[in-house]
Amino acid sequence: MHRQLLATVLSAGSALAAPAPQASAAPNATIKCPIVFDGRVPASFVQDPTLWDSYATNTIYNPDYVRNADLKWSQTLKFPTGDPSRFDGSDFNAVEVTLSDKSIFQTQNGFRRAGLQFLKDASDGPGTTGVKTLHFSVKQDPTRPLNLTHEYLNVWHEAADYSADQIQFQYGTIIGKSSSDKNNFKLLDRSGATIYSVAAAATGWQNFAFTLDYTKNQVTVYYSTGNTALKQVAQKSADLSGGGQFQIGILKKPTGTSDVVNSGYQEKNINEGQVYGGIFLEDSASNCVSL
Ligand SMILES: *[C@@H]1O[C@H](CO)[C@@H](O)[C@H](O)[C@H]1NC(C)=O
Ligand SMILES: *[C@@H]1O[C@H](CO)[C@@H](O)[C@H](O)[C@H]1NC(C)=O
């Protein structure tokens, strides 16, 4: 009888085991709110990176900004494979923004920078009114590590008059601050006060969403890792006035200067990258947020 019970348990166990999903089941997060700007990268933009380079073909991002005018997006973006980010699923792809010594925008010799701007984002457009949520996931490229001695500004919303960034998603050592949290991603408000901070993971996706309530001047932060649903982790008042645009990429500040735009120290032969996935802005009117 004992033996028979064991056999029943074993056979029930194997019957259950057979249809169990694979360990790496595809992500199935769905975007449930209206998309305002869709920055997710379709397969065609990976198969033919030159689609990124002109207004005729780049339907997603500004082909010309913000980068060295002589360094096309097709020359600097990479498309890492591997597990897709939560909101990319099997239909969209990761994109890696990379920096080299040539990553100098106009005459801003202090910075090394390359940043994506949503094609339809305008300084007085829908990204600056109502309640909107910016989504993106990040992953680190072990072959192109950032140098956390430096201050990095990776995702932000810059006021129309360029006088301030209403939100600043940063990494590394913030100039003039302690380096003790250099391995953290930090979301700062326009005055540099911390809204949320979390350690950067060496591997795997970290998912962020920032709800910008322009009517209440309030930021709500959602966060998760891997394929788990986003959870609210912070909410804070922040002055979101001033219009402007989003930017997603890398802006590496120099060390040893008070004029970070134009001067300071940048080491030579840099090869750095930040991987992004699942980039989009959704309309969060009526508290709609895709988790
Ligand atoms: C798919 O979504 C369902 C419902 O939200 C969730 O329970 C499940 O874990 C998800 N599966 C994956 C692979 O994400
Ligand atoms: C990081 O940056 C500092 C300051 O520019 C530089 O001195 C150092 O060599 C860099 N470290 C690495 C590992 O590149």
Tell me: the pLDDT tens digits for 102-117?
Answer: 999 999 999 999 999 9
Question: Does the beta carbon of 23 lie inside 6 Å of ligand 1?
Answer: no
Which of 112, 149, 270 gets mutated to test ligand 2 (max ligand atoms within 8 A of its CB)?
A: 149
| ∠ CA 157-158-162, rounded to 5° | 180
Ligand 2 atom showing the smallest separation from residue 148 Cα: 1
Which of 22, 28, 88, 228 most suits a substitution to test ligand 1, by most atoms within 8 Å of the C-beta?
28
Domains of the chain: 34-287 (2.60.120.1160)
Mean pLDDT of 210-224: 98
The closest residue, in CA terms, to atom 8 on ligand 1 is 28
Alpha carbon distance 7, 219 (integer Å): 57
Residue with tokens 């990479």: 78
CB neighbour list of residue 291: distance below 8 Å, 6 or more residues apart: 29, 209, 222, 229, 230, 231
> How open is the CA angle 162-165-170, to the nearest 5 degrees?
130
pTM of the prediction? Answer: 0.88
Can you tell me whether residue 6 is helix, strand or coil? helix
Q: What is the largest CA-CA distance in the chain?
A: 84
**Ligand 2 pocket check for 109: Cβ under 6 Å:** no
Interatomic CA distance for residues 158 and 21, integer angstroms: 44
pLDDT of residue 28: 66
Using most ligand atoms within 8 A of CB, pick from 266, 267, 272 the residue to mutate for ligand 2: 267
What mean pLDDT comes out for the span 255-274? 97
Q: What is the tens place of the pLDDT at every residue in 141-193?
A: 999 999 999 999 999 999 999 999 999 999 999 999 999 999 999 999 999 99
Task: Kindly tell me if the per-residue pLDDT of 7 is higher than 80.
Answer: no
- Using the structure block, give the residue that is written with the tokens 């949503």: 118
Q: 138, exposed or middle or buried, with CB in 10 Å at 0-12, 13-18, 19+?
A: buried
Task: Report pLDDT digits (tens) over 28-83.
Answer: 689 999 999 999 999 999 999 999 999 999 999 999 999 999 999 999 999 999 99
Nearest CA to ligand 1 atom 6: 28
